[in-house]
Amino acid sequence: MTLENNEHRPIIRIDDTIHRPTHWWTPSVHDLLNYLEKVGFPYSPRVLGFDDEGREVLTYIEGESGKEGWHKIHSDEGLANFAKLLKSYHEAIADYRPPTHAKWAYSPNELKPGEIMCHGDFGPWNIAWDGEKPVGILDWDFVLPAKPEYDILYALEYSAPFRDDETTMTWHHFAEVPDRKRRIQTFLDAYGTSLSNVVDGVAKVQRQSILHVKHLADRGLQPQMDWVKDGTLNNVEKQAKWSEDNRLLFE
């Protein structure tokens, strides 16, 4: 069963396991996942090793994910659960210190003061859901050292969402345009924090994603190479500019 219909990154389910392509960051991610298992974090997959074709083997987490995830955070309850899950991960990983030789997708950098290993791709599509209850976090490929605010701002970009009304209705599947300010506050309250300059923070994260994509493209990865070639990254810059130009919707 192919879970990701992408010729560049085929992901296969076999019984209760997931078989995924490996990359230079895989050993470091496995170290992090093994740590989460050791501390009893229940929402991450367990590392089972490698198959005969060299793919990593992880435990399968039952639940709805992918495009279904957008619908799970429409309600206040689902949105709050989404934020609480992120908080629980940040608490679980707070004391983790990666090995000195660790290499991540975007950077080999070690943790700086105030940083943790952020998930790096904390969107509703990467959560396994049971109704409005999250039961697992998927796709740990893009873990990176950063302050916790990185994950928070990344999640807010997609859950507020930081998109124009048409995109909010079509791509994010809202039945009507949401109160973005209220959704941001709902998320932050559930996480248990407050942030200033949210718009500028989200725009910065959006622009960081451009650098991340270019870094992977330079290393020969797909689909990032295609995104650079076909101009997709230009749309990301437009989104960041739109966020800044429409800050009254968010602050």
- Express each pLDDT in 41-80 by its tens digit: 999 999 999 999 999 999 999 999 999 999 999 999 999 9
Q: Given the structure tokens 């209760």, which residue do they identify?
A: 16
Q: Where are the domains of the chain?
A: 2-59, 66-249
Q: Which of 60, 36, 58 is nearest to 47 (CA)?
A: 58
5 has a pLDDT exceeding 80: no
- Express each pLDDT in 154-172 by its tens digit: 999 999 999 999 999 999 9
The per-residue pLDDT for 9 is 60
Q: Taking all residues of the chain, what is their mean pLDDT, rounded to a whole number?
A: 93
- Rg of the chain in Å (alpha carbons): 18
Q: Given the structure tokens 């209220």, which residue do they identify?
A: 182
Asked if residues 70 and 125 have their Cβ atoms less than 8 Å apart, the reply is yes
The per-residue pLDDT for 8 is 52
How sure is the predictor about 98, in pLDDT bands with cuts at 50, 70 and 90?
Answer: very high
Burial category of 206 from C-beta neighbours within 10 Å (exposed 0-12, middle 13-18, buried 19 and up): buried
Burial category of 170 from C-beta neighbours within 10 Å (exposed 0-12, middle 13-18, buried 19 and up): exposed
Average pLDDT, integer, range 4-32? 85
How sure is the predictor about 3, in pLDDT bands with cuts at 50, 70 and 90?
Answer: very low
- Express each pLDDT in 183-216 by its tens digit: 999 999 999 999 999 999 999 999 999 999 999 9
**What number does CATH give the domain 66-249?**
3.90.1200
